[in-house]
Structure 1
Amino acid sequence: MGLPCLQEYYYSAQLRPLVCLCSSTYTAGWKDVEGTTVKNMPIPALLADNKLQGELLVSDDPMQDILLKSWQEIVKICRVGESSKLLRWCAHDSDFAPNKSDGRFNQWTSKGLTTYYSFLYKINMVWEGTFYRYLQVRHYFNQNLKKAFEKGESGFLQIFLSLLKSKSCNKFISRLYNSILQSKQESTEYIKKKWEKEGNVTISVESWEKISRLQWISTGSNTWREFCWKNVVRFFVTPVQKRHQGGGDACWRLCGSNGADHFHIFWNCQVIKSYWKQSFPSPGGMGDKQWSNNYMRIKEVCQVMKVMCNVNHTVLFLIK
């Protein structure tokens, strides 16, 4: 039996009362005690509007503040992004200017037109004298929210919206927890971009996956697997990172270069470049400059990573 991720499980437990407070179908005595509004503002209207939360000083209410902070953390973990703005209410959206001068948008909330999602499925609910306001909402949606909607709902948002319509509170936490795990998007894309920027190279997704996979299939030693993986994910501190401590950013191999980043330390330093040339001889007639531009091709990168996994004395020399 696998152990749960306690952080996500904690956030799921924190979101359960928030779902109950936001749900119009869920009834309980404690909702009347706690209240479903903050300074006469419905709690669902505050979920995706940080500016509105600041204006109402939500932090003054400890319970509501904790619930909304848990929501914000989940939005970050699941990378919901701009899609969460679809949960805003047009009658209270801090970025929707018309609602500040026209209070008749509030009348729509009693008819079920609350979030921008509701407009997508209740487009025929336009009453006499409100068509112009509908056009205002549509224009705002097309200008600011349409791209987020076209990307599709995240798994977490789908579950959250379905729970708001549920009449039962059974398995709220488990459903939220599973949706969070499914929506989490762990990515090393930002690491790949750093290697590309420092080395002035282009690494395809396939090559990056191959580089990562080689760390686990090229050696049976967990010690060297860990070391090589740390190298790939840029774990080791370089002179560029330590320059803020007043030590400068000169290469510690005394090669005379400044700005010694990860790419320089492990690949491009003049002290170790001779090793790479010996391991991967340049084609006949190719000058040093041309070789330097070609030896970091992705295919060779993969081969180099494999060498680093197998040749222990080489790895020790690289970090010496």
Structure 2
Amino acid sequence: MGGLGLPCFQHYYWAANARALVYWQEGDAQELSANSPPWVAIERSGVTDSSLPALLFAAPISPAISGVNNLIVLNSLKIWKQIKLHCKLPETSVHAPVYCNHAFPPSLSDTSFKNWRLKGLNTLKNLYINKKFASFAMLKSYFSLPDTDFFRYLQVRNYVRTNIPNFISLMEENKLCKILLGSPGSKKLITSFVDVFAERINFTTDSLRSAWEGELGLRIGSEVWEEGLGRIRTCSINVYGCALVPDPQIALFGHSPSLRNCSISMQTTVVYGMVIAKKVILRLWKTDKVPQFKMWLSNFTEIIHLEKLRYVVGFSNKFCSIWQPVLDYLSRSKVDPNTRSVS
């Protein structure tokens, strides 16, 4: 969560660390890709009886048993444990590797599982064909496995059956796992993690809506309420100088059915104007001073430069569509954003 919604710093802390875990998917590769940072090789060398992907997706065990002797890896695993508890992830994922998996001891002593990896049978998910756990005959045909691997198939089948409930059918992909298995260089990676973490917060606002309905003496529709909450979470502070018919729903939530016929740019600037107005009111809430219009404009000019920086990279047209009417108004009102004063 960002913008005007108070950010959860723990989520950003988790996300910053989880970003490094995205590189762990290459931890059991024969050779690291050219794009992998050098520290991936260092962390991989600090794990002897397991692999980095196994530490992520297989059931955790004692670091001494899994052969983890790298302090950074140990700290990453502590944070990963917190994330798993928060997101209620299963102990074992279908993305756990078949080879070099601490939770599947045969994979550490039997090099035939290494041959499985070389043939493309890398993870438990590869054991599923058409979202069903494949028979040995199907895997034999698909991956060219020898008949002598039938006992190894029974071993891995028992491991999956023991650790994954209802293992016969492939479970729906988890959002967090999708991000972890994505490209480490993808844009908005931190934001993607934070959004997933925020989804796990169960906070109902029904009581707040009821309280506002009682205070205002009107019914607030679910659509207006959800739209208002959404705008609060995504907007930054700015203002729009336009005349509107007084509407308590606009003042409180930044959204109302009366705005539906307005342009998106106007709706955006209106909700930001309401936000900065409430900010001015809160600053003087415990004093005997009355908020003045020039205070509203002055607060607005404090952040106009930041807004320009936010839009200047690739979004200059959007900045103009939202802010040009405001800048024109400030010019007519002889408000100088550089001096932050109102004449």
TM-score after normalising by structure 1: 0.49
TM-score after normalising by structure 2: 0.46
The structure where helix makes up a greater share of residues is 1
